[in-house]
Structure 1
Amino acid sequence: MGAHHISTDTSRVRRWLDGEQPREPIPQILSELFSERFGCVVGIEDLGLRTAHRSPSVSGVDLPWAGPETVTLIGEFSRSDLMLARRGFLGTSLALSAGPALIEPMQRWLVPSPSGRAGGRTQQEAGRSRRVSRLSGPELELLESTIVMFRKWDAQCGGGLRRKAVVGQLHEVTDLLQESHPEPVSRRLFKVAGELAELAGWMSYDIGLQPTAQKYFVLALHAAKESGDRPLGSYILSSMSRQMIHVGRPEDALELIHLAQYGSRESATPRTQAMLYAMEARAYANMGQPSKCHRAVKMAEDAFAECAPGDGDPDWIRFFSEAELNAENAHSYRDLAYVAGRSPTYAKLADPVMHRAVELFGQEADQEGGHQRSYALNLIGLATVHLLQKEPEQCAAVAEKVLPLARRVRSERVGNRLRKTVDTAVRDYGTVPEVIRLGELAADHLRDSPDTGESVRAV
């Protein structure tokens, strides 16, 4: 059941039957076991057990903005994730926050930290620490380079293959953050923690663990604040915004993007600014506001045109290439078409931009380390544009190209979007020979495709 550290015996079970309250996480595990056995949800209360009060590390997003608490919360949450990685345990203990419950706590990201604090602790407190730093400069550089490797794995293989490795590395970093470091080292460690937590959130999002993803994003933002890296914080907020669009909350997505733009207005590179404008356009598109969407698309293009090799872009934004810019803008137009009742006007706008994105991602995918998942997602996007333009034959031809990619990339987003596109094509054009063939091929490929590496379901 994913909790090998827990064991029991008949005498302990007898005590539970006599009324003894087992400690966490046993009530949650029992609930999962009975739910699987009976094929319906059996809550903890249904078993006659009490739901334990959950610490902030496993509930809610309104967390204290202070270094020591951030370290503790990341450590507890990553440990829980590693121990109870199955969706039935950690996943059901979380709920996805939205609206003011999400936005208002995130706004405190901009509140200045008290002066004289290094990594959330005063210099005097840091000096009293009993654990002396054991981290050398080369080791810290190796930690930072490891994140680059993890990102490449995610882009090539999807979030399901290496997520636990990222979470494990994050947990190790929280151990290092409990030691005494000079302020520059402490800030770099918090930056590492922020990037790892964001990546753990992104991978969780990719495989459908939405509440878990949001929790990591929130913890990442807290770590970024301790590092003093405003652009990193804006990037984390953009990931949260993308998730809100995915779950149908574009208004929340827009609030998060505006917060990111305001917070990084004086420090973000043109590439980061372009990415934020592109996400703003996605939010406006899903809200059905075409004029504001067009304006944001234009601002994204203008900002991207200002990118230069010497801008000093951090590794986390280097994914935002010309291919990614075209992909985001094409999806904005495609989303406008959906919101406007499958409008052919917006679908026509999306078509050439989506073709360009697919062309560029295809070139990247042919190279070692190319973004396989992005290529697959944009092929699916192009297939949906063909459907919007009532071109089922072209849709089927493009969607067929995704099938081998979907088998290699462990991404629930790819699998779900491909299934939805194929189902729509079969429903609307089920007599077209190319669509019939696509449906048959997809049934074989998706049935035999590997899972994401963790027990997940669509959200």
Structure 2
Amino acid sequence: MGGNGSGGASARRPNERLTSWFHRSGWSKGELARQVNRRARQLGAHHVSTDTSRVRRWLDGEQPREPIPRILSELFSERFGCVVSVEDLGLRSAPHSAAVSGIDLPWAGNQTIALINEFSRSDLMLGRRGFLGTSLTMSAGPALIEPMQRWLVPTPTAPEGPQGATLSSLPTSGAGEPRRLTRISGAELDQLEEATAQFRDWDAQCGGGLRRKAVVGQLHEVTDLLQETHPPRVRRRLFRVTAELAELAGWMSYDVGLQPTAQKYFVLALHAAKEAEDRPLGAYILSQMSRQMIHLGRAEDALELIHLAQYGSREQATARTQALLYAMEARAYASLGQPPKCHRAVRMAEDAFAEIGPRDADPAWLRFFSRAELFAENAHSYRDLAYVAGRSPTYVSRARPLMEEAVRLFAEECADDSGGGHQRSYALNLIGMATVHLLAREPEGCVQLSEQALDLANRLRSERVSNRLRTTWASARRDFGEVREVAQLTERLTEELPESEASRAV
């Protein structure tokens, strides 16, 4: 039973918090023990061996040793679709280094470099040691929002050193002497930026699971470069590449279901964007964090993050950036069940997108936000309002034409690119359109679109697509299980899209 409990026979009080979550989960003690053991094996913690008697002792007040508190936090978070922290469960977690736990990190360039370097190295070791999975939890509420607000605080300007480098940015040798400036050419920087753009295209085409470790490896290499000394202009450009790679590593982690890892990368990306003095990029990273919070059922946090992004980038954001932020604001208001504010944000997104000029030079990380993406986001806002309002036909009728147009545009894009394009976005919006048919009680249309989505899901490495399809199909079986086409697709989906280990733990 190594690694399971804290030992000691001192008097304990029952853990009422853990007991409450446990009873609401519907799990038995044996099922929870099996899930803990399964997750521990996935993380490489092979010393963990839990049984029903050990679960009973946790409920009675025994404090388990790491990594069990983290594992329980992940399992209950997945079960309820919201952040359930270690503290929410009445458990204590062991302290860890700043690089692998917590998000309230120092906003200083050299420390940002060190943290990203250590975190990416640890992530690359995950397959061998399960390091990150046993060390991370999600942050939410004030613990998330307050540290992110410091993104807006200006960074003090340090005095300049040799050849324009700031004294605070000069790493030192063991003798305390500044290292000499490292020369990196413009062509080499161009190659790093082109490689980052290529990674982003691969993610859109194949999902986050195929090349996530390659992105993490590239991120680690760039932070190695940043540990040398560069002129301010080059240093800012390297920080911008670092921010883009860290955001992409976070996005890919989110896509494959590694939620705490994703959040940590997003936070580190925001720190790097601040060092790059790139407010629009920072706003985009905050929008990704907002999307994750919506996914986890924390719409209030999502709205706070979007408002922070809008405020921080109001003087520098392009029309396309503004449209993206308004669209995400609408998603948050929809999840909160606030139709008037959702309608207003949708209109603002459409108006901002209409202001995009043919010669506007948006950065590469923003070019994905096309007309198809705008239609898709606004359609999902109205679809979500329909769910909140009890399958409201009014919002279903608003969602339908927007979702149909998004599906059409993504289909054309993917066909024109001969297998390229935003395949994952196409799959997600096929599923979105299938949910619209479910809301309208049209099972045949739901089946047709789900079949197309399943074809794409088989070619993608995206747990997000697979899970969304499974969730949609669970609703279809519940409402229309007697329909012949629904029963036939259920058999095919069970055979071609079996649940992953992570899914079975939910």
User: Is the CA contact 1:116–1:122 (under 8 Å) kept in the aligned structure 2?
Assistant: no
Q: TM-score, normalised by structure 1?
A: 0.87
> 1:71: how far off?
0.3
Task: Give the drift of 1:201.
Answer: 0.2
- TM-score normalised by L of structure 2: 0.79
- 1:437 aligns with 488
Q: Deviations over 1:63-106 (max 9, x none)?
A: 00000000000001001100124795312311100000000000
**Residue 147 of structure 1: aligned partner:** 196
Q: Closer, same or farther in 2 for the Cα pair 1:367/1:240, shift >3 Å? A: same
| Alignment of 1:35 onto 2:77 | no
Which runs of 5 or more residues in structure 2 are unaligned? 3-39, 59-63, 69-91, 171-176
Pick aligned residue for 1:415 from 466, 476, 481: 466
The answer as to whether partners of 1:257 and 1:276 remain within 8 angstroms in 2 is yes
Report the equivalent of 2:212. 163
CA distance in 2, matches of 1:52, 1:255: 29
Residue 265 of structure 2 is aligned to residue 223 of structure 1: no
Question: 2:120 maps to which residue?
Answer: 78
Aligned 8 A contact 1:397 1:434 in 2: no
| Distance (Å, rounded) in 2 between the aligned partners of 1:316 and 1:222 | 17
- In the TM superposition, what is the alpha-carbon distance from 1:46 to its structure 2 partner? 9.6
Structure 1: distance between partners of 2:94 and 2:327: 43
Q: Which amino acid aligns with 1:392?
A: P
Relative to structure 1, the CA distance from residue 31 to residue 86 in structure 2 (aligned partners, 3 Å threshold; closer, same or farther) is: closer
- Aligned partner of 1:124 among 163, 167, 170: 167
Q: Secondary structure at the match of 1:79?
A: helix
| CA distance in 2: counterparts of 1:442 and 1:281, whole angstroms | 32
Determine the C-alpha separation between the residues in 1 that align with 2:389 and 2:241: 42
Are 1:32 and 1:89, in contact at CA under 8 Å, matched by a contact in 2?
A: no
Residue by residue over 1:260-290, the C-alpha shift from the partner in whole angstroms, topping out at 9 and shown as x without a partner, is: 0011101111001000000000000000000
What is the deviation of 1:129?
2.7
Q: Aligned-pair distance for 1:436?
A: 1.4
Q: How does 1:270-289 map to 2 (within 5 A)?
A: 270-289=319-338
Q: 1:397 aligns with which of 448, 452, 468?
A: 448
Whether the 8 Å contact between 2:321 and 2:366 is mirrored in structure 1 is yes
Which secondary structure state, in structure 1, belongs to the residue aligned with residue 46 of structure 2? Answer: helix
Q: Which residue in 2 is equivalent to 1:195?
A: 244
CA contact (8 A) 2:104 2:147 kept: yes
Q: 3-state DSSP class of the match of 1:202? A: helix
C-alpha distance in 2, partners of 1:256/1:36? 40
Alpha-carbon deviations, 1:35-71, whole Å to 9, x = none? 3787998954699xx9863111001110000000000
**1:296 maps onto 2:323 in alignment:** no
Residues 31 and 202 of structure 1: CA distance in aligned 2, closer, same or farther (over 3 Å): closer
Which stretch of the first structure deviates more once superposed, 229-238 or 435-444? 435-444
Identical amino acids, percent of aligned pairs? 68
Give the SS at the match of 2:337.
coil
Per-residue Cα deviation, 1:323-357 (whole angstroms, up to 9, x for no partner): 00000000000000111122222111101110000
- 4+ residue runs of structure 1 moved beyond 4 angstroms? 28-31, 36-43, 85-88, 125-128, 455-459
Name the CA distance, whole Å, in 2 between partners of 1:32 and 1:391: 47
Which piece of structure 1 moves more, 146-155 or 417-426? 417-426
In structure 2, C-alpha distance between the alignment counterparts of 1:294 and 1:131, rounded to whole Å: 56
How many Å separate the matches in 2 of 1:52 and 1:288? 38
Supply the distance in 2 between the matched residues of 1:72 and 1:326 (Cα, whole angstroms): 40
Residues 68 and 349 of structure 1: is their aligned pair in 2 closer, same or farther, counting only changes over 3 Å? same
Is 2:363 aligned against 1:320? no
User: Residues 184 and 292 (structure 1 numbering): CA distance in 2 closer, same or farther, change over 3 Å?
Assistant: same
Q: Is the 8 A contact 1:96 1:210 kept in 2?
A: yes
Shift of 1:115: 1.5
Q: Match of 1:252? A: 301
**C-alpha distance in structure 1 between counterparts of 2:439 and 2:94, whole Å:** 49
Q: Does 1:110 align with 2:161?
A: no
Moved more, 340-349 or 179-188: 340-349
Q: Which has the higher contact order (CA 8 A, sep 6+)?
A: 1
- Counterpart of 1:178 in structure 2 is 227
**Are residues 79 and 159 of structure 1, via their aligned partners in 2, closer, same or farther at CA, if it must alter by over 3 Å?**
same
Which runs of 5 or more structure 1 residues have no equivalent in the other structure?
1-12, 14-27
- Is residue 351–residue 385 contact of structure 1 (8 Å, CA) maintained in 2? yes
- Cα 1:222–1:46 change in 2 (3 A) is closer
1:123 maps to amino acid: T
Q: Aligned to 1:337, which of 381, 386, 402?
A: 386
CA distance in 1: counterparts of 2:356 and 2:397, whole angstroms = 28
Task: Specify the SS of the correspondent of 1:32.
Answer: coil
Q: Is the 8 A contact 1:187 1:226 kept in 2?
A: yes
Change (3 A) 1:80 1:330: same
Alpha-carbon deviation of 1:126? 4.3
Letter in 1 for 2:141: G
**CA positional deviation for 1:117:** 6.3
Instruction: Give the Cα separation in 1 of the matches to 2:166 and 2:490.
Output: 64
